[in-house]
Amino acid sequence: MEFILLIGGLVALVLSGDYLVKFASGLALKIKIPPVIIGLTVVSIGTSAPEIIASVRAALEGNPGITMGNVIGSNIANLALILGVTSLIHPIRVDQSLMKVDWPTLILASLLFWGMSLDGELSKTEGMVLILGALVLLSMLFLRSKKARDTQVIAELSEEELEQSHRPMAILLGGIALASVGLYYGSEWFIEGARQMAINFGIGDHIIGLTVVAFGTSVPELVASGIAAWRREPDLALGNLIGSNIFNIFFAAGISSSIIALPVDAQALDFDFWWMTGIAIAVGIMMMHRKRVDRWKGSLLLLTYLVYVYWIGSTLFIVNPA
C-alpha cells in the first residue's frame, strides 16, 4: 500500500506541477505581466499550501512547536535543496526586479521573523504583524503587475504559449487552482507512503522528520520549479522559490501564531535561524554574480543542504543515541 501511495503521489506531483506551470505561464501572457510576478504570487502561494496548511493544523491541534520547524526547515530546503536541483536542470537567469525588490524583501522578512523570536516566543500580536506584511506585499505585487502591463514589450511567442494565452481566464484560473490541489494531495500521498516505508525499514522517527517530512512539504516547490526550469521558464522558477519563502514566513508563521503563541526553542535561535538567513544571503550574492544561478552554484547549494541535514542528524544521534 505504501508503495502505491508513493508512486501515486509522485505521479500527481509531476502532472500537477506541469499543469501549474503551463496555466501560470498562460495567465502571465494573457494579462501581459512578467512570469516572475506570477511566480511570486499565484505559483508561490499554491506551492506553499502544504507548509501553510500543515503549520496552521499543527497550531490548531496543540502542537505549535512543529510550526516553527516546518517554516524554518522549508525555507532552508527551498533555497538550498530545491534551487540547487532546479539550477542543475537548467541555469536560471535573474530578473532585475528580484534583485531590487523581492530578495531584499525576503531578507527583511527573515530578519523580522528572527527578531520577533528572540524572546523565545512568537506572540499573537506578532503573528498579526506578519499577516499585515503579507497583505502589504500582495498590494505591492499588484501595483507592480499593473505597471508591468503598461510597459511590457510583447516578445515572440511559441505555438504552445499562444495556445495557452488564448484560453479563457476562467479556465486558466481554474487550472491553477486544480493543479495546486493536486500538488497538495500529491505531497500528502508521497509523504505518507515514504513515511510508512521508512518505518517498515526500521528508520527512527527523528530521521523520518529530518528527511521525509522536511523534504515532502517542499516537494510542490521542487516539482513546480524544476518543471519551470525544464520548460525554460526560469523567472517562474526563481520567483516561485523566493515568493514561497516570503509567504511561508508571513502566512504559515503569521496565521499560526495569530491562533496560538508559538514557542521558539534554543536550537532554532542558536542554529536554524542562522542557516535560514545565511543561505538566503548567499543566494543573493550568487544572483548578483553574472545575474545567473549557474550549475556550479546549484551544486554548491545542494552540498550546503546535505551538510545541514548531516549536521542536524549527527547532533540528534549524539543527543538521542539508539
DSSP symbols for 147-185: HHHHHPPPPP--HHHHHHHTS-HHHHHHHHHHHHHHHHH
CB 241 within 8 A of CB 225: yes
Q: In angstroms, what CA-CA distances link 129 with 178, 218, 245, 252, 298? A: 31, 25, 17, 13, 34
pLDDT of residue 217: 67
Amino acid letter for position 226: G
What's the mean pLDDT in 57-63? 71
Say which CATH number the domain at 82 has: 1.20.1420.30
Split at pLDDT 50, 70, 90, the class of 95 is confident
Q: What is the pLDDT of residues 254-263, one digit of tens each?
A: 998 998 898 8
Whether the predicted model's global pTM rises above the 0.95 cut: no
Q: Which residues pair with 263 in a beta bridge?
A: 121
What's the mean pLDDT in 85-113? 91
pLDDT of residue 273: 93
| Domain carrying residue 52 | 35-150+202-319
Q: In angstroms, what CA-CA distances link 309 with 75, 133, 136? A: 13, 30, 34
Instruction: Write out the H or E segment, with its range, that includes residue 93.
Output: strand 92-93
pLDDT of residue 155: 47
Is pLDDT of 173 > 60? yes
Is residue 272 assigned to a domain? yes
Is residue 248 assigned to a domain? yes
pLDDT of residue 154: 45
Give the separation between CA 243 and CA 106, rounded to whole angstroms.
Answer: 8
Is residue 7 assigned to a domain? no
Is residue 24 assigned to a domain? no
b/e per residue, 249-284, with b = 16+ CB within 10 A? Answer: bbbbbbbbbbbbbbebeeebeebbbebbbebbebbb
What value does the CA radius of gyration of the chain take, rounded to a whole number of Å?
Answer: 19
Evaluated on CA atoms 35, 41, 46, 48, the torsion sign reads: positive
Is residue 158 assigned to a domain? no
Residues in CB range of 70: below 8 A, 6 or more apart: 51, 54, 55, 58, 217, 252
Count: domains in the chain: 1
Is pLDDT of 76 > 70? yes
Is residue 127 assigned to a domain? yes
Is residue 123 assigned to a domain? yes
Cell triple for 87: 539550477
Residues in CB range of 164: below 8 A, 6 or more apart: 22, 23, 25, 26, 29, 172
Q: What is the mean pLDDT of the chain?
A: 80
Split at pLDDT 50, 70, 90, the class of 312 is confident
